[in-house]
């Protein structure tokens, strides 16, 4: 099989349908950026999964092309790694226009956004990742740009300041967010299409892995694909990352083929268990069960117990642990479910694990109110 290095890869200044270098994780190395870029689908026909969003988006784009106008602004919402950036790039590819990429935290002043908007060509796509983190002054400027394709540039300060209206080319804003609840109402209402991304089924992840293996030149068996897909947390980005690590193991310690045995051995080496939990996930569960009797315990206390920041535990570990039925969030704190005890190979306490049970009298000496209420 050929690899993406043999086929030629998108360049940074590539035209429509090609992927710019900044379309991948900026923290990745050069080779990793090249591989991530190559694995992204280039059209809706190549995009796997999210059938409802894909069908709806196809209608939006086709209608806009027939009218000869830019489509309505698009908001893509959902957990990380489900394809929001890929869909934004696909929108530009399907429309035959350029895609300009930025992120909410990078837009600190309204002037930064005004300069970016004034440089857009007719029908271009502006993709703002993590749009819920955009600065408030820039967000307010975005309202007029989205509705009237005009921005007011303020010149001067104080009583002598004047606003100069500046016309901008019609464009399509594609916003991506992992925290839709943090978007303000006025911004959310200005999007003509909102797509909610869902976690992938195992069968769809196997299709993603088959496509990625072909692009990477990896011989992947059906059993090996199923094993990787089952540990990928329903997320294509994680599936592709695990495939690359299993590929390394297969090339160094086996014959290069990714079989069931090779996949299991590689994933065990990288501390990814049968459910897809990694070292940090298991540390959180183990601390909750072994040190706090299954809870309830506050997230700050739990974070200290595993040596991590509270927001890391809350935003990185908890979503999957809750979805997997291993952890529950209650008004009194985090509680391990019976499934968590069993997954760790421990006996479930007699009488089961009632959610939200109190393990200590908060008025008793030495008890911690933070453990009960820091949820």
As annotated, the active-site residues are 84-85, 129, 178, 237
Q: Are strands 125-129 and 172-177 parallel, antiparallel or unpaired?
A: parallel
C-alpha separations of 143 from 91, 124, 137, 191 in Å = 21, 18, 10, 10
Query: If residue 114 lies in a helix (H) or strand (E), which one and from where to where?
Result: helix 110-118
Cα-Cα-Cα-Cα dihedral sign, residues 143, 148, 149, 154: negative
| Contact (Cβ atoms closer than 8 angstroms) between residue 263 and residue 246 | yes
- Mind giving me the DSSP string for 120-169? PPTT-EEEEETGGGS-HHHHHHHHHHHHHSEEEEEESSGGG-EEEEEE--
Query: If residue 263 lies in a helix (H) or strand (E), which one and from where to where?
Result: helix 260-269
Long-range contacts of 203-211 (CB under 8 A, 24+ apart): 204/48, 204/49, 205/49, 205/229, 205/232, 205/234, 205/236, 205/239, 207/48, 207/49, 208/48, 208/49, 208/236, 208/239, 208/240, 209/239, 209/240, 209/243, 211/39, 211/41, 211/46, 211/48
Angle, alpha carbons 156-153-126 (nearest 5°): 145
Which has the closest alpha carbon to 173: 216, 258, 113, 218?
Answer: 113
- Residue owning tokens 């409802």: 52
Tally Cβ neighbours within 10 Å of residue 44.
17
| Contact (Cβ atoms closer than 8 angstroms) between residue 197 and residue 53 | yes
Structure token digits, residue 212: 């990625």
- Residue owning tokens 């901008």: 168
For the chain, the C-alpha Rg in angstroms (whole number) is 24
- Distance CA(346)–CA(353), nearest Å, equals 13
């Amino acid at each position: 099989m050929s690899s993406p290095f043999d086929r030629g890869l998108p360049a940074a200044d590539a035209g429509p349908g090609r992927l710019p270098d900044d379309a991948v994780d900026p923290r990745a190395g050069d080779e990793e950026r090249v591989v991530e870029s190559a694995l992204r689908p280039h059209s809706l026909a190549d995009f796997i999964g999210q059938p409802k969003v894909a069908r709806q988006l196809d209608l939006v784009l086709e209608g806009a092309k027939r009218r000869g106008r830019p489509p309505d602004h698009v908001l893509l919402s959902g957990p990380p790694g489900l394809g929001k950036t890929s869909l934004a790039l696909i929108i530009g590819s399907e429309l035959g226009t350029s895609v300009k990429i930025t992120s909410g935290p990078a837009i600190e002043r309204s002037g930064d956004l005004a300069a970016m908007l004034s440089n857009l060509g007719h029908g271009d796509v502006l993709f703002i990742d993590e749009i819920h983190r955009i600065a408030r002054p820039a967000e307010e400027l975005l309202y007029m740009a989205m509705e009237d394709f005009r921005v007011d540039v303020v010149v001067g300060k104080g009583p002598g300041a004047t606003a100069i209206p500046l016309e901008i080319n019609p464009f399509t804003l594609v916003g991506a967010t992992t925290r839709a609840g943090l978007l303000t109402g006025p911004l959310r209402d200005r999007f003509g299409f909102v797509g909610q991304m869902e976690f992938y089924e195992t069968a769809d992840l196997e299709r993603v892995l088959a496509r990625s293996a072909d692009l990477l030149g990896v011989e992947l068996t059906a059993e090996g694909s199923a094993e990787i897909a089952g540990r990928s947390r329903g997320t294509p980005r994680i599936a592709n990352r695990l495939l690359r690590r299993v590929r390394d193991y297969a090339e160094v310690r086996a014959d290069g083929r990714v079989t069931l045995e090779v996949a299991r051995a590689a994933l065990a080496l990288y501390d990814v268990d049968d459910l897809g939990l990694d070292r940090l996930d298991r540390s959180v569960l183990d601390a909750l069960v072994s040190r706090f009797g299954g809870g309830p315990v506050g997230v700050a206390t739990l974070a200290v117990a595993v040596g991590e920041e509270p927001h890391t535990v809350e935003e990185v570990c908890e979503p999957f642990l809750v979805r997997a039925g291993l952890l529950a969030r209650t008004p009194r704190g985090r509680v391990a479910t019976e499934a968590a005890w069993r997954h760790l190979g421990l006996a479930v306490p007699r009488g089961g694990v009632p959610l939200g049970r109190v393990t200590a009298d908060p008025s008793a000496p030495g008890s911690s109110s933070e453990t009960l209420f820091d949820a």
